[in-house]
Structure 1
Amino acid sequence: MKYQILLAATLLLAACNNDKKAEVGTEGMNAAATAESDAANPTIDNPNVVNESEAPNPNAPVMKFAEAEFDFGDIQPNTKVRHTFTFTNTGKSALLIEDATASCGCTTPSWTKEPIAPGAEGKMEVQFDSQGKQGIINKQVAVRANTQPSISTIVIKGNVLTDDAKKPL
């Protein structure tokens, strides 16, 4: 019985090792899997994406905000406040905003949908709804565009007053 178990274990181990490719060098056993994965998922060349070994695209659009942060100061409870951030495309090709994502659902961005030509201005309006909020707020909006880097961040700040604070004494 012992010999049958030992023989079965030996055969199982030998069968598992037969289909593995021999590796040479220090790359280890994951090198073959990585090479196969890279071949199955080819990289799409995007001229605006830079890796460490490449120089930045000198013709890429550049999003330059007039201000990257805005402080509302005191905000009344249960109100909506908004601020419009302006930016200029200081690059050499048309700038196109793909998406803008706020750090929470109480903050809603809206933006210029058309391509912004070099030297032209665009707008990003950010609305904040103070309903259910109180105290210091600091919300970020990540703006994804065809720029380098591809994400720019703008920030709104403020202090949402309590219901008691807005009542006269």
Structure 2
Amino acid sequence: MKFVYLFAALLGFTACISDEESKAAAQGGTDSATVLNDSANYTTVQWSDSIQNLGTVREGEKLEVVFKMKNTGTKPLVVQSVAASCGCTVPSKPEEPVMPGAEAAIKAVFDSQGRSGTNHKTITVVTNTIGNQNHVLEFNVEVIGSKEGPKATNIQPVKTGI
């Protein structure tokens, strides 16, 4: 009887493995970790705007940044991960591979709260690309005052001596 339970469990396990392999094959390849480690699956990418100057925003505003890319190779482009240089920037990536000739974007939301002054932020994107798999995207933004305007302080005016 124990043999029957063991056989059923083993059969269920192998069915799950086969199902995962079938899904990967239907999506045009294997999982992203395999693609990133197999140079036969590498492709090329073209960034239309990897450095952006976003001008000026008021402190407290949230700003969306979009970095456009195009798969210029012959294999699907897989974006494994995106990471921002600071917690004030939250990036997102395409979840599906970008097919050859297709375009996609890396998006990020920058929260300017508490970030007065000049801000230079970076986002590192890891892909299955020939040569360098790490791509650094950059944006600059000047954050001024808060939405309410400058806060009143107890400052006495300075006399000029006239």
TM-score by length of 2: 0.65
Match for residue 136 of structure 2? Answer: 153
Q: How big is the shift at 1:164?
A: 8.8
Equivalent of 1:88 in 46, 66, 70: 70
Q: How big is the shift at 1:47?
A: 2.9
162 and 145 in structure 1: CA distance in 2 versus 1, 3 angstrom threshold: same
- State how far apart, in whole Å, the 2-side matches of 1:105 and 1:81 are: 14
Match for residue 60 of structure 2? Answer: 78
Q: Is the 8 A contact 2:63 2:111 kept in 1?
A: yes
Greater Rg by CA: 1
TM-score by length of 1: 0.62
Equivalent AA in structure 1 for residue 142 of structure 2: N
- Whose strand fraction is larger, Structure 1's or Structure 2's? 2
Match for residue 96 of structure 2? Answer: 114
Which consecutive unaligned segments of at least 5 residues does structure 1 have?
1-44, 49-56
Q: Aligned residues: percent identity? A: 30
81 and 121 in structure 1: CA distance in 2 versus 1, 3 angstrom threshold: same
- State how far apart, in whole Å, the 2-side matches of 1:46 and 1:111 are: 20
Following superposition of structure 1 onto structure 2, how do residues 1-169 of structure 1 map, counting pairs within 5 Å? 46-48=37-39, 60-148=42-130, 149-163=132-146, 166=149
Q: Is the 8 A contact 2:58 2:147 kept in 1?
A: no
Equivalent AA in structure 2 for residue 156 of structure 1: F
Which consecutive unaligned segments of at least 5 residues does structure 2 have?
1-35, 151-162
Q: How many residues align?
A: 114
Q: Is the 8 A contact 2:59 2:147 kept in 1?
A: no
